[in-house]
């Protein structure tokens, strides 16, 4: 066993594990309920140094982060001796936006000698391929809205806010924040004729936190009254693609992996 999966919420950890030939070591964050996998060991921010040491002892050389994790708060009373020297790096990470914090995490694992793999490197079939997944195809308005959305995500990248937005009739009506895509859509009410767009921020690391869509995303878009879900081909993970297509068609939605940048 040379791979460890740092597992968070959602279906992605199980999908990543299912794509491996040799079962990886599953590391769960304390307090997070895992779906479809069982943690071999648990950790928290205050014991991360011990986790790094234990992974090395177990022969792990590669690490893959998969699934949602909340930004943790550091509790000094729970620090162990292996983790205390890392506190300055933790404090630096927690002061950055999500992408900045994740870069610090990647750097920490790499300095400890581990290769950090993106989920798409372990499970390449999850990466969106260019094309239309649904029976319905995007019309001219949807294509224009997708261009507006892609430009907006790029323009907002320095603020490190989110990877998704909703555009209707050429106007951005919502932008994802730390609450995530589903919460953004749930707070919208009905946006007739709009689209959900998801794509990575400019300069974002592909090793951790590539944006993803799944069946629940299609349902949330439908409940918000949207006409379609548009994603960046090659830069977004599609979880359960066959079910996503089925739901898109059942809801009368377009599901389009847009190849143009």
- Residues 90, 181: one domain? no
Order of strands across the sheet that contains 171-175: 131-132, 254-258, 228-232, 195-198, 164-168, 171-175
Domain limit, last residue, from 122, 141, 164: 122
Which three-class secondary structure state does DSSP give residue 247?
helix
The pLDDT tens digits of the residues spanning 223-246 come to 999 999 999 999 999 999 999 999
Which residues constitute the domain of residue 226? 127-258
**Same domain flag for 33 and 82:** yes
- The phi, psi pair for 207, rounded to 5°, reads -80, -30
Same structural domain for residues 139 and 249?
A: yes
Tell me: do 84 and 174 sit in the same domain.
no
- DSSP per residue over 88-103, as a string? HHHHHHHTS-HHHHHH
Of 122, 157, 187, at which residue does a domain stop?
A: 122
CA nearest 102: which of 54, 163, 146, 147?
Answer: 163
pLDDT tens per residue, range 129-148:
999 999 999 999 999 999 99
Does residue 255 sit in helix, strand or coil?
strand
Number of domains into which the chain is organized:
2
State how far the Cα of 211 lies from the Cα of 68, in Å rounded to an integer: 11
pLDDT at 158: 78
Q: Assess whether 139 and 82 both reside in one domain.
A: no
pTM of the model: 0.88
Alpha-helix residue ranges (DSSP H) falling in 192-240 = 215-223
For residue 72, give the nearest of 107, 46, 34 by alpha carbon.
46
Which has more confidence, 115 or 44?
115
Regarding whether 166 and 102 lie in a shared domain, the answer is no
Is residue 140 located within the same domain as residue 62? no
Contacts of 260 (CB under 8 A, 6+ apart): 147
Cβ neighbours of residue 95 closer than 8 Å, sequence gap 6 or more: none
Backbone angles phi, psi at 168, to 5 degrees: -140, 130
Report helix, strand or coil for 144: helix
CATH of the domain at 131: 3.40.140.80
- Residue where one domain finishes, among candidates 70, 105, 122: 122
Integer-rounded Cα radius of gyration of the chain: 19
Same domain? For 202 and 218 the reply is: yes
Beta-strand runs (E) in the chain: 3-7, 25-29, 41-43, 62-66, 115-117, 131-132, 164-168, 171-175, 195-198, 212-213, 228-232, 237-238, 254-258
Over residues 73-91, the pLDDT tens digits come to 777 778 888 888 887 877 7
Give the residue among 123, 129, 124 at the shortest CA–CA distance from 259: 129
Is residue 102 predicted with pLDDT exceeding 90?
A: no
Place of tokens 């690490």: 63
Residue with the bigger pLDDT between 82 and 160: it is 82
| CATH of residue 37 | 3.40.50.20
């Amino acid at each position: 066993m040379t791979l460890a999966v740092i597992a968070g919420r959602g279906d992605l950890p199980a999908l990543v594990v299912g794509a491996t030939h040799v079962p990886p070591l599953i590391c769960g964050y304390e307090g997070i309920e895992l779906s479809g996998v069982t943690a071999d060991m648990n950790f928290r921010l205050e014991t991360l140094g011990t986790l790094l040491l234990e992974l090395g002892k177990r022969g792990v050389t590669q690490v893959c982060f998969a699934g949602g994790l909340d930004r943790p708060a550091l509790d000094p009373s729970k620090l162990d001796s292996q983790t205390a020297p890392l506190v300055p790096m933790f404090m630096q990470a927690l002061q950055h936006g999500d992408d900045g914090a994740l870069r610090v995490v990647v750097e920490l694992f790499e300095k400890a000698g581990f290769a950090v793999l993106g989920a798409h490197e372990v499970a390449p079939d999850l990466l969106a391929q260019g094309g239309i997944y649904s029976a319905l195809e995007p019309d001219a308005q949807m294509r224009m809205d997708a261009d507006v959305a892609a430009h907006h995500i790029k323009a907002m990248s320095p603020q490190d806010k989110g990877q998704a937005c909703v555009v209707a009739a050429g106007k951005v009506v919502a932008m994802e924040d730390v609450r995530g895509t589903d919460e953004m859509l749930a707070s919208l009410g009905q946006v007739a004729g709009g689209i959900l767009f998801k794509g990575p921020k400019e300069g974002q690391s592909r090793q951790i936190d590539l944006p993803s869509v799944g069946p629940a995303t299609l349902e949330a878009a439908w409940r918000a009254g949207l006409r379609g879900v548009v994603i960046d081909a090659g830069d977004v993970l599609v979880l359960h693609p066959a079910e996503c297509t089925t739901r898109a068609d059942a809801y009368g939605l377009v599901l389009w992996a847009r190849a143009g940048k």
